[in-house]
Chain A
């Protein structure tokens, strides 16, 4: 059974950093691209970042470029999202999602999400 479990969320002040983790199990992690997707009541679902199977290619939405870094450790079956210079508009529930091996793939499995609140 495919499982994706996020951790690392919480309350953080604007301008500070937070690192999310996603532990994967039930599949060969290194064979799949991975992604982070966030959700807010006002903006709905927003793709944040994706990473290729080996980690050599990464993609970001414009609003997080230069502030967020997606990475993965295939030996640990874990992906990460390092979030720096956080802003109030980054407040959201963040989901870990599995993508196919191709760049253009849907998100075929999702985690249950972790809440990130950016507030002073």
Chain B
């Protein structure tokens, strides 16, 4: 199985700041990488697919980059609604696998 290593596991930031989350795959996954947002009481939301393509409805302050094994999710000018848990996931091969998550909290 492809192992997805996500870091950091915890991140504290203030509204208006920018943050980045890293996701590393144990082997090349091309650009078959998605980022999700998890918030209490809400369904998980697909933010980005294909490494850098924003899903419809995802604000432009979110961006994704990378290919192969190294990927990054960047959120510019954090807003209050962005404080959540973020997961990466590879869908290049079965079984699809997820990172362990990054909890983004308000500083």
Binding site for B on A (CB under 8 A): 4, 44-47, 50, 59, 61-62, 95, 97, 103-112
Known: A95-B44, A104-B32, A106-B89. A45 touches B55 (CB 8 A): no
Output the nearest chain B residue to A43 by Cβ-Cβ distance: B100
Is the C-beta of B15 less than 8 angstroms from some C-beta in chain A? no
Interface of B is mostly: loop
Task: Tell me if A47 and B97 are in contact (CB < 8 A).
Answer: yes
Name A61's contact: one of B49, B95, B98, B99 (CB within 8 Å): B95
Nearest 9 pairs between A and B by C-beta? Answer: A106-B34, A45-B98, A110-B44, A47-B96, A110-B43, A106-B49, A108-B46, A61-B95, A104-B91
Q: How far is the CB of A28 from chain B (nearest CB, A)?
A: 17
Task: Tell me if A107 and B97 are in contact (CB < 8 A).
Answer: no
9 contacts between A and B (CB under 8 A): A44-B87, A47-B95, A47-B97, A61-B95, A104-B93, A106-B89, A107-B34, A111-B43, A112-B42
Provide the bound-state CA to CA distance between A47 and B92, in Å: 13
Output the nearest chain A residue to B34 by Cβ-Cβ distance: A106
Output the nearest chain A residue to B93 by Cβ-Cβ distance: A104
Q: A44-B98, A108-B46, A112-B41 are in contact. List 17 more A-B contacts (CB 8 A).
A: A44-B99, A44-B101, A45-B101, A47-B96, A47-B97, A47-B98, A61-B95, A62-B95, A105-B91, A106-B34, A106-B89, A107-B44, A107-B89, A108-B55, A110-B44, A110-B45, A111-B43
